[in-house]
Structure 1
Amino acid sequence: MKNVIKLTWLLVIAGFFAACTKDNNEIKIQNHDQDQMMSIMHQMMSKMDTMKMTKDPDNDFAMMMRMHHQGAIDMANLELKSGSDATMKQMAQSIMTSQQAEITQLTAFLASHPPHTNDPDFDTMQMDNMKKAGKQADLQIINGDIDHDFAILMIGHHQSAIENARLELLHGQEQRMKTMATNIIDAQMKEIDQFQDWLLARGNK
């Protein structure tokens, strides 16, 4: 009788590990340090961490978004180079076009607008948003599939841009930057929805 019970438990345990193995085969996970998209995200975060704040919300929003946009462009470049999904490549091209145009506007603004407002609370909240975004990115499940990782990481990337744009609407003084903030919110909320729909249709794989 004891041998029968022991055999039964061995079969249960074997079945459990077989199920786990099957699940792991269905949802692949790649180490973040080996993932190409995550490497671009980390490089962007490192650059933003070293940004010298001016305490002028409009200028600091412009400087931060210029770095943030460049990170999105670098990720989109990788998607166009190494991705295979037509929808993701189309989104990557759209992001590159729109955000490169905004980088040009941000650069022009910074060249013509010396800092003159002192609002240290904005800088603190902006950096807190970026740190939160970095932590969230490090919690994402990535699998080394360029299309999947582009979509999943761009959702978080866009969400952090939206949060900073909302801060600009509350603290900024310059209409040019407030208009850009509104445009960023509208465009990137739509893109988040598209990324989410694409991932859900694939079962997030």
Structure 2
Amino acid sequence: MKKLFRLPLLALLLASVSLVSSCSKDDSDSLKVQAHDQNTMMTLMHDMMKKMDAMMKTQDPDQDYSMMMVMHHQGAITMAQEELKNGKDNQMRDLATRIIAAQQAEITQFNAFLAGHRVETPLVPAFNTRQMMAMDKMMRANDLRVITGNTDRDFAQLMQDHHQSAIETSQADLDLGRHTETKALARQIIDEQMMEIKEMQEWLLTNKGY
């Protein structure tokens, strides 16, 4: 009788080992999640938002757009610098380098506009309403992201939301602003950042890791 049960018992043991091995592989390949308050990229986003929330608004669309975008761009630059410091993927590091160059140049243009501009009337409160809606939407989208602690993935995810808020704020200036200088910058930002969002989405589809 012992001989009769030896083969089934061996098969059962082999199946158990296979199942354990399979579970171990799944565990090692599974998505690893990091708490938002422990994530460097998310902390940089929240720090940027605190500065923008503290900005005194004038209700002049071009003035407020320019002041806000200087802070917003600086936030993107800081995130891109974090990607260059700790990211590993060549494409994301190249994107970070391009973001820094483009947004530093645009900050220079915004500051040049602000240096020669004085608040104009009539005031347009609708611009700030749309601007803050875009920023609130950005932070809600950030808070819904699955953050992994992988610098390249977190950069690609959070920068999409960051870019989308810049696009929506730029569209508000196109609709409500009065100056050709800010409108030209708004169009440039929309065109550049729409292309960069597409690049990040395509990269994530290939490199999301789960």
TM range (shorter): 0.7 to 0.9
- Pair 1:204–1:107, CA change in 2 (3 A): farther
- Say whether 1:196 aligns with 2:188: no
TM alignment of 1:20-35, pairs within 5 A: 22=26, 26-35=30-39
- Say whether 1:150 aligns with 2:146: no
> What's the counterpart of residue 175 of structure 1?
180
How many angstroms apart in 2 are the aligned matches of 1:127 and 1:195?
24
Give the TM-score, by structure 2 length. 0.85
Aligned counterpart in structure 2 of residue 89 of structure 1, from 70, 89, 93? 93
Q: Which moved more, 1:79-88 or 1:21-30?
A: 21-30
1:23 Cα offset (Å): 6.7
SS in 2 for 1:173: coil
Q: Tell me if structure 1 keeps the 8 A contact 2:153–2:208.
A: no
How many angstroms apart in 2 are the aligned matches of 1:204 and 1:76?
21
1:25 Cα offset (Å): 5.2
Runs of at least 4 residues off by over 6 Å: none
- Residue deviations 1:99-129, cap 9 Å, x none? 0000011111111101113001111121121
Percent identity between matched residues is 49
> What's the counterpart of residue 139 of structure 1?
144
SS in 2 for 1:190: helix
- Say whether 1:70 aligns with 2:74: yes
Q: Tell me if structure 1 keeps the 8 A contact 2:83–2:155.
A: yes
How many angstroms apart in 1 are the aligned matches of 2:130 and 2:169?
8
- Residue deviations 1:114-173, cap 9 Å, x none? 111300111112112111211111111110000110000000000000000110100000
Unaligned runs of 5+ in 1: 1-14
> What's the counterpart of residue 129 of structure 1?
134
Unaligned runs of 5+ in 2: 1-18
SS in 2 for 1:60: helix
Aligned counterpart in structure 2 of residue 50 of structure 1, from 48, 54, 62? 54
How many angstroms apart in 1 are the aligned matches of 2:72 and 2:208?
28
Aligned counterpart in structure 2 of residue 37 of structure 1, from 33, 36, 41? 41
Q: Which moved more, 1:121-130 or 1:35-44?
A: 121-130
- Pair 1:202–1:194, CA change in 2 (3 A): same
How many angstroms apart in 2 are the aligned matches of 1:194 and 1:23?
30
How many angstroms apart in 1 are the aligned matches of 2:38 and 2:195?
30
> What's the counterpart of residue 171 of structure 2?
166
1:69 Cα offset (Å): 0.2
How many angstroms apart in 2 are the aligned matches of 1:136 and 1:154?
11
How many angstroms apart in 2 are the aligned matches of 1:66 and 1:55?
17
How many angstroms apart in 1 are the aligned matches of 2:151 and 2:119?
40
